[in-house]
Structure 1
Amino acid sequence: MHELARRVRELIVATDSYRRTMAAAVGVSTTEAAVLGHLLHDGPQSPSVVAARAGFSPAAATSLLDRLEQADLVSRRAHPRDRRRLLVELTPRGRAAITSIFSMFSDDLRHALEHADPRLVADPELREAVTELISAMAAALRTRAGDASGVTRAVTEAVAGSATADAGSVEASGGADAP
């Protein structure tokens, strides 16, 4: 299990680097690129949905949307059924940019699959099992990320336990000069 965790961590680190490179190519932050991706895959969204997906306050999301609108990547328009509300949508330039990034991403994954274990290419059931595993791992990571207070509590307890163990180790070895 530790080897799997190490390899998934390796994937996450590579993904972070990949996301930074792709976002920089468009001239946006990774968060802004993620917003463009949400709009591509989920369609036009209200500013409040954009804020929630980005984990931003409404004021911070307004600033983000202002930057994306100034870069001609998104536009805000009146909601078709409720003129008091707004929808954020990709502009043609924004759609071209994020579609290009997603196309490269798909190509890179296809290339990785072609160079992986041949059974993954030949066996659709095995490929489906791997896909389900990735989906389950993503869900588990999202669940943990959604429990910020639980994570903070667990880390705080581990650090406190480590400090207590270190203090006990120093006392047992005869003082602060112990190796």
Structure 2
Amino acid sequence: MADGVRELMVAEESYRRAVAAAMGIAPVEATALEFLLHNGARTPSLIAARTGLSRTSTTALVDRLAAAGWVARRPHPLDRRSVLVDLTDDGFDVVCSTYLLFARDIGAALDEADPRLREDPQWRRAVGSLVEEIAASLRHRAGDVLGVEAALSRHLVGTETALPDAGSGDTGPPSPGRAR
């Protein structure tokens, strides 16, 4: 199961990069747009939390998406010090198109899967529930940096615990003895 989920995650990342490239944006920008599609207008700090960017980088990301005409800032109705970032009509159209493509691709996979998944809504709900629980478990662990470091500490002895820079292109596990 873990190998299958890992392969799904790798495929999803490749898929996100390909869609973002077709849109002419970075994958992190696609992540922000998708977040807004599924969650509505949000503050820059929530976009930062979802994308893993700093506040400064998130401001630059929102600036780029606004310049492209895909998002707009508007005053926050409950907090005068904050703004909400929302999809424009053009932004909604383009991001909705990418999501519909994604949904069609998932449907194509379902067509090739075990016939019980196509024919039995209870099976689909059970698999959907499992995927949601896996996502929740991974999100929980991702938010537990100290727990991850503790769990890996015996393997990280003598190495820096910081992960490789996200922009370095180094996405694989470290080789034994490889300097970080």
Q: Distance in 2 between matches of 1:81 and 1:7?
A: 44
Q: Distance in 1 between matches of 2:114 and 2:78?
A: 51
Q: Distance in 1 between matches of 2:134 and 2:82?
A: 36
Q: Is the helix fraction higher in 1 or 2? A: 1
Q: How does 1:15-26 map to 2 (within 5 A)?
A: 15-26=12-23
Q: 1:115 aligns with which of 96, 99, 112?
A: 112
Partner of 1:171: none
Q: How does 1:75-114 map to 2 (within 5 A)?
A: 75-80=72-77, 82-114=79-111
Question: Pairwise CA RMSD of aligned residues?
Answer: 1.7
Match status 1:54 vs 2:51: yes
Q: C-alpha displacement at 1:33, in angstroms?
A: 0.7
Instruction: State TM-score, norm by structure 2.
Output: 0.81
Report the count of equivalent residues.
158
Partner of 2:154: 157
Q: C-alpha displacement at 1:153, in angstroms?
A: 2.7
Look at both structures and tell me which one has the larger radius of gyration over its CA atoms.
Answer: 1
Residue identity in the other structure for 1:17: S
**Deviation sequence 1:10-56 (CA, Å, 0-9, x none):** 11111110010011111111111111011111111122222222222
Q: Which runs of 5+ in 1 are unaligned?
A: 162-179
Instruction: State TM-score, norm by structure 1.
Output: 0.81
Partner of 1:136: 133
Partner of 1:44: 41
Partner of 2:5: 8
Q: Which SS does the other structure have where 2:155 is aligned?
A: helix
